[in-house]
Structure 1
Amino acid sequence: MSEKVNRILMFVVTGEFVVGILGNAFIGLVNCMDWIKKRKIASIDMILTSLAISRICLLCIILLDCFTLVLYPDVYATGKQMRIIDFFWTLTNHLSVWFATCLSIFYFLKIANFFHPLFFWLKWRIDRLVLKILLGCLAISVFISLPVTRNLNNDFRLCVKAKWKRNLTLKCRDSKAQYASIKIYLNLLTFFPFTVSLISFLLLILSLWRHTKQMQFTATGCQDTSMQAHVGAMKAVISFLLLFIAYYLAFLVATSSYFLPETELAVMVGELVALIYPSSHSFILIIGNTKLRQASLQVLWKVKTTFKRRNF
């Protein structure tokens, strides 16, 4: 890549990184301050804080990978450093997806209305199980990420940079096959939490449809609190699903780009698109959460007041 293209891509990547850090750090800071003030934390705040922390780590890993690719391309010729980045990227990626799935399930259990014994059992016990579920997600993510450090061939990145060497052809072919199989396997594992979120979204639609149908017979048809809660939860879940699809496709581009002629450019474009998911979804969660939305409005009002005072 030319130096001009590198600068443009790095500028965009850095901008997305700053935006994502601000949004996720705001979520974590507001919830932690409320936790200290009340000396207890609500289940939804615990999930949102865990999700924000995982996405901050994910953003840092993606930015580190981008800077390494552009500023220190020779690092890609060694396996140890890149295996560390690959491990933490896989770990934070799965953590972010699993925590977002926990959020989808929490919305579903708290808002939906179904007359089933299992649903009621989960609905009344979800608050007690949140911490255990989050720790379980952490353990699953660590377990899934271990194959990256154990099985990834140290010479694969060297093969990427030394495609012109004929004596490495056979060795590189084996390394590519091994790398591709591991990455495809790990990427496919994210489809399970994604499917759970999709099922939660479909059940929310079903619950809203049943609630709307009941409202037609028992009320005047105006929106009530339950309907507004349904719509708000559906917006949060569907935004996660759509952004995750874009992120997943970009992640596949960045992964498969090692087999393309323009490796660096494909990786940078893939990571640039991938940053949209952890950066933008945090602001959707802030808008959809009453406490976070009010806190953000207060911050904006204080910033606006400060600028007015300095101007005068």
Structure 2
Amino acid sequence: MTIDMKSTLMIIAAGEFSMGILGNAFIGLVNCMDWIKNRKIASIDIILTSLAISRICLLCIILLDCFILVLYPDVYTSGKQMRIIDFFWTLTNHLNVWFATCLSIFYFLKIANFFHPLFLWMKWRINSMIPRILLGCLALSVFISLPVPENLNDDFRSCVKRKWKTNLTLRCRVNKAQYAFIKLFLNLLTLFPFSVSLISFFLLILSLWRHTRRMQLNATGSRDPSLEAHVGAMKAVISFLLLFIAYYLAFLVATSSYFMPETELVVMVGEVIALIYPSSHSFILILGNNKLRQASLRVLWKVKYLLKRRNF
């Protein structure tokens, strides 16, 4: 990979990182200020703030891995640094998926209209259960991530040093295959919360369809709060689903650096694509949340006002 290509990809990665930090930090700051001001915080704000913090951590890990891959590739031959990066990437990866799934479930329970006893019970209890659910997601993500550094034994790290050589020994191939299997298995565990988000999305569609039919039968006006809430929640959930699919595929490509020789360009492109998900989805959430949208408009108005004052 040429120096110009490396520089271009690093600039793109840094730009995506900056936008992601800006959007997620804005979500966390607005919700924390509102919490301090009102001495209480809504359940949706707890989920959004937790999701924003986890995404800031994920952005830092991806960018750090990107810089190390380009500037200091020999770091991966050291056990300690490799363990730390791999553990936190797996941890933040699972946290993001679980917290986003919590958001999808919350939208579904608060907006959908069903009359099943289990649904009504969950709808009634969800606000009090959110802090415990988020703590459970954190504990589960830590538990899932623990096998990753343990799998990076001395035999595997010695094989990483030789990954650019084509004549790898059978022992190295077996070590890499074992590590690849565990890595793939842990990543596949994120498909469970992803499936839950997908089910929530389809149930929201069903609820929207039933609500639309009732509107047509009752001749309700076009501007209906429940209809707008359904559409807004569906936009947030489907944007997460689509962006996560792209992120997941890019994540698998990025982690292939341990197993395939001479793939720096492919890995760099994969990490640049992976940065899109935690960076862009935060702005979709801001636009879909009335409080965050109004706060962003106030900030933009103040920035515009300050720029006009400087020009004159």
Name the residue aligned to 1:208. 208
Name the residue aligned to 1:98. 98
Name the residue aligned to 1:248. 248
Q: Give aligned pairs, total.
A: 312
For each residue in 1:53-97, what CA deviation from the matched residue of structure 2 results, as whole angstroms up to 9, or x when unmatched? 000000000011111111111111222211110000000010010
Name the residue aligned to 1:177. 177
Distance 1:111 1:162, change over 3 A: same
Name the residue aligned to 2:294. 294
Distance 1:214 1:162, change over 3 A: same
Name the residue aligned to 2:85. 85
Distance 1:241 1:167, change over 3 A: closer
For each residue in 1:89-132, what CA deviation from the matched residue of structure 2 results, as whole angstroms up to 9, or x when unmatched? 00001001000000000000000000110011000110000000
SS in 2 for 1:62: helix
Preserved contact between residue 16 and residue 275 of structure 1 (Cα < 8 Å) = yes
SS in 1 for 2:146: helix
Distance 1:132 1:305, change over 3 A: same
Name the residue aligned to 1:32. 32
Name the residue aligned to 2:196. 196
Name the residue aligned to 1:145. 145
The CA deviation at 1:170 is 1.7
Distance 1:164 1:188, change over 3 A: closer
The CA deviation at 1:262 is 2.5
Higher mean C-alpha deviation, range 188-197 or range 71-80: 71-80
Higher mean C-alpha deviation, range 183-192 or range 171-180: 171-180
The CA deviation at 1:218 is 0.7
Q: Measure the CA separation in 1 of the matches of 2:133 and 2:179.
A: 31
The CA deviation at 1:261 is 3.3
Q: TM (normalized to structure 2)?
A: 0.97
The CA deviation at 1:155 is 4.1
Distance 1:257 1:218, change over 3 A: same
| One-letter identity of the residue aligned with 2:282 | S
Q: Measure the CA separation in 2 of the matches of 1:229 and 1:291.
A: 14
Preserved contact between residue 153 and residue 179 of structure 1 (Cα < 8 Å) = no
Distance 1:165 1:93, change over 3 A: closer
Q: Measure the CA separation in 2 of the matches of 1:295 and 1:87.
A: 35
The CA deviation at 1:221 is 4.9
| One-letter identity of the residue aligned with 1:145 | S
For each residue in 1:137-186, what CA deviation from the matched residue of structure 2 results, as whole angstroms up to 9, or x when unmatched? 00000000000011223443542442466885122102211111111101
- Whether 1:65 aligns to 2:65 is yes
The CA deviation at 1:258 is 3.2
The CA deviation at 1:230 is 0.2
Distance 1:225 1:269, change over 3 A: same
- Whether 1:74 aligns to 2:57 is no
The CA deviation at 1:220 is 4.0
Name the residue aligned to 1:135. 135
| One-letter identity of the residue aligned with 1:217 | L
- Whether 1:272 aligns to 2:272 is yes
Q: Measure the CA separation in 1 of the matches of 2:283 and 2:163.
A: 43
Q: TM (normalized to structure 1)?
A: 0.97
Name the residue aligned to 1:159. 159
Q: Measure the CA separation in 2 of the matches of 1:85 and 1:179.
A: 15
CA RMSD of aligned residues (A): 1.4
| One-letter identity of the residue aligned with 1:26 | F
Distance 1:19 1:34, change over 3 A: same
Q: Measure the CA separation in 1 of the matches of 2:181 and 2:141.
A: 18
Q: Measure the CA separation in 2 of the matches of 1:123 and 1:164.
A: 54
Distance 1:195 1:165, change over 3 A: closer
Q: Measure the CA separation in 1 of the matches of 2:106 and 2:248.
A: 23
SS in 2 for 1:5: helix
The CA deviation at 1:229 is 0.2
Preserved contact between residue 79 and residue 156 of structure 1 (Cα < 8 Å) = no
Structure 1: stretches of 5+ with no match in the other structure: none
What percent identity do the matched residue pairs reach? 80
